[in-house]
Amino acid sequence: MSDQIDALERLAKLREQGCLTDEEFKAEKAKLLNGGGKPTRKSVAEAWEETADQRRSMWGNLKWQLGVLIVLAPMLGYAGWTQLQKMTPEQATKIIGERLPQCASEDVRKALRGAIEGSPASKLVAIEVVEIAHIEERGVGGEPIKRYCAADVSTNGGTEHIGFTLRHSDEDDGFIIETGEDMGPPA
């Protein structure tokens, strides 16, 4: 109680010195007498009522945003679909071909080495890739669209000129490498 009296005396002095207006003094005095200036706890119902306007505003904004999304999403999807329908096979090949790595890239070299050394035949006779050289691109095309490549592969068993293809993998947005005979894209 004495703390409260001391605080009231300080407020009175501040008012006498002109540091506080009468309104400020009354407000501070009311705070002190109404719980010592500590915030009072509100019930959940009171807090809910005080935030009603804010909640209404947020819900209104959310409804507007959802409405725009519901209207625009199908329109954008349709626009994209119509653009794909207008695309020539050459344009589609170019776009997908650009997503595939170049034949001589380091990622392709690692994948080619892994495909050769990880094949069942390689495991039987312990083939190791020593060098991959003279990598060339043969083109892009086919269905599904592939990048056609060739290279000289030197292993512990000799050197062979092989062909390999790269195609897009939807699973990890990467590529799949397939080795085989030396070939180019379909005409």
Q: What is the largest CA-CA distance in the chain?
A: 103
Q: By the 8 A CB rule, do 179 and 163 touch?
A: yes
CA distances to 36, 62, 180 from 109, in Å? 75, 50, 15
Q: In 109-187, at which residue ranges do the beta strands (DSSP E only) sit? A: 129-141, 146-155, 158-169, 174-180
Q: Is residue 78 located within the same domain as residue 105?
A: no
Q: Mind listing the pLDDT tens digit for each residue in 145-186?
A: 888 899 999 988 888 888 898 888 877 778 888 887 767 776
Is 39 inside any structural domain? no
The pLDDT score that the predictor gives to residue 151 is: 92
* Domain extent at residue 22: 2-33
Residue pLDDT, tens place only, 79-137: 777 776 676 767 666 666 677 888 899 999 999 999 888 888 777 888 889 999 999 98
Same domain, 126 and 164: yes
pTM over 0.75: no
Phi, psi angle pair for 173, to nearest 5°: 55, 30
